[in-house]
Chains A and B, each alone.
Chain A
Amino acid sequence: MAVDLSMPVLVVDDYKTMIRIIRNLLKQLGFTNVDDAADGTEALAKMRGKRYGLVISDWNMEPMTGYELLKEVRGDEGLKPTPFIMITAESKTENVIAAKKAGVNNYIVKPFNAATLKTKITAVIGEF
């Protein structure tokens, strides 16, 4: 089944510049319905009010980190199936393993490029 590029995508990052970069990249990839949140708490509130087809989150945020957000999402029956990609500068093996154990669908290390973003999104939600 083809991916619906109008599905809501949530970008979570505490740096407005990074949100802008990811938004532009997603726009270039064809996604038309992108929301954003500045940390895990705001993201969780938005996710409980709207069903997202994909969440792309940073790790290091205050007060709720992307890692905590991931664990909250996977612990919530309603949100559990939401595809979740981590985009972060946290590039230690322990971070990747912790994210994997918490149920992340993919993990992108910053700095990244458009091709990597497209490859990882495709791996998670399918060809588009």
Chain B
Amino acid sequence: MSAPEKAADTSLDEVAGHIRDMNAESLSLPDILNLAEIMVGSMQGFFGHVDTAIYKELTEISDFIDTTRSEIGRLQPRNLKDKHFPEAGLELEAIVQSTESATNTIMEQAELIMSADPDDMPAYHDTVQGAVMEIFEACSFQDITGQRISKVVSTLVLIESKISSLADALGSALNEDIEEEETEEEKRKRELILNGPALDGEGIEQSDVDDILSDGASQDDIDALFD
């Protein structure tokens, strides 16, 4: 208990003693006012202390809100939302379209070669030559998609640096132990084991798959893969 709280507690005991000593029926208005005066006087120190503590805390909260607001401002969320995210999305869409278009062109030409009649050698030669040139041309998509991917990576780096600045500014105020609730999409991915393509070194090779599927693989062999 703090000193002002102790003082207030002692004064309240004194007031209670006065009331006990008085005859309640003969209690006059001046008596009650006197008691009120004693009480107010004794509690003043306590409330004064509480006011100062609350004021100090509110000032700290206000400063923290100001800092957070200015850091969020530096993030330029509208700029991210209106410019960077849409641009990155468009670049990714363009990548999907150009790779799909190139793949279709390459496959069309490959199918053309497959269906060409090798008995008619001059025509077959022309078909193969023409198809191979088309395939070379279609492969130029790689250069363009490389540049588009670089732009998307730049956007990600920008976002990463802004988020890092915000995290640094918030410092210990960040509660990183909060457990996020699993979304429906995450639940579906977990239940249906939808991991997506693995990066190099993360997935298993076809030979490992063959080992797991081979009749010789015991449950122990399979379990050992999880160790």
**What residues make up the interface of A, taking CB atoms closer than 8 Å to B?**
17, 20-21, 24, 28, 59-60, 65, 67-68, 89-98, 100, 104, 106-110, 112, 116
**B111: Cβ under 8 A from any A Cβ:** yes
Cα separation A90 to B96 with both chains bound (whole Å): 20
19 A-B contacts (beta carbon < 8 Å): A17-B107, A28-B114, A65-B192, A68-B192, A89-B197, A90-B195, A90-B196, A92-B203, A93-B204, A94-B193, A96-B209, A96-B212, A96-B213, A97-B222, A100-B213, A109-B203, A109-B204, A112-B206, A116-B206
Give the residues in chain B near A20, CB-CB below 8 Å.
107
Give the residues in chain A near B110, CB-CB below 8 Å.
24
A92 engages B204 (CB within 8 Å): yes
Give the residues in chain B near A65, CB-CB below 8 Å.
192, 194
Give the residues in chain B near A94, CB-CB below 8 Å.
193, 195
Give the residues in chain B near A109, CB-CB below 8 Å.
203-206, 209
The 8 closest A-B pairs by CB, nearest first: A91-B203, A89-B197, A93-B225, A91-B198, A96-B212, A92-B195, A107-B209, A65-B192
Q: What is the CB-to-nearest-CB distance from A5 to chain B, in angstroms, rounded to a whole number?
A: 17
A60 engages B212 (CB within 8 Å): no
B212 engages A97 (CB within 8 Å): yes
**B136: Cβ under 8 A from any A Cβ:** no
Give the residues in chain B near A116, CB-CB below 8 Å.
206
Interface size class of B (residues with CB under 8 A): 20 to 34
A108 engages B212 (CB within 8 Å): no
Within 107-128 of B, Cβ neighbours of A (below 8 Å) are at 107, 110-111, 114
B198 engages A92 (CB within 8 Å): yes
Q: When the two chains form the complex, which single residue of B111, B114, B193, B206 contacts A92, counting CB atoms closer than 8 Å?
A: B193
Q: What is the CB-to-nearest-CB distance from A65 to chain B, in angstroms, rounded to a whole number?
A: 5
A24 engages B226 (CB within 8 Å): no
Q: What is the CB-to-nearest-CB distance from B30 to chain A, in angstroms, rounded to a whole number?
A: 84
**B104: Cβ under 8 A from any A Cβ:** yes
Q: When the two chains form the complex, which single residue of B100, B204, B225 contacts A91, counting CB atoms closer than 8 Å?
A: B204
Closest residue of chain A to B207, judged by CB? A109
Per-residue contact bits, chain B 143-175, to A (CB 8 Å; 1 contact, 0 not): 000000000000000000000000000000000
Q: What is the CB-to-nearest-CB distance from A38 to chain B, in angstroms, rounded to a whole number?
A: 15
Cα separation A93 to B222 with both chains bound (whole Å): 9
**B103: Cβ under 8 A from any A Cβ:** yes
Per-residue contact bits, chain B 186-227, to A (CB 8 Å; 1 contact, 0 not): 000000111111100011111011001100000000100110
Give the residues in chain A near B114, CB-CB below 8 Å.
24, 28
A17 engages B100 (CB within 8 Å): yes
Give the residues in chain B near A104, CB-CB below 8 Å.
213
B100 engages A67 (CB within 8 Å): no
Beyond A24-B107, A100-B212, A109-B203, whether A93 also contacts B197 by CB under 8 A is no
Cα separation A92 to B130 with both chains bound (whole Å): 42
A60 engages B206 (CB within 8 Å): no
Closest residue of chain B to A20, judged by CB? B107
Cα separation A100 to B196 with both chains bound (whole Å): 18
Closest residue of chain A to B195, judged by CB? A92
Closest residue of chain A to B219, judged by CB? A97
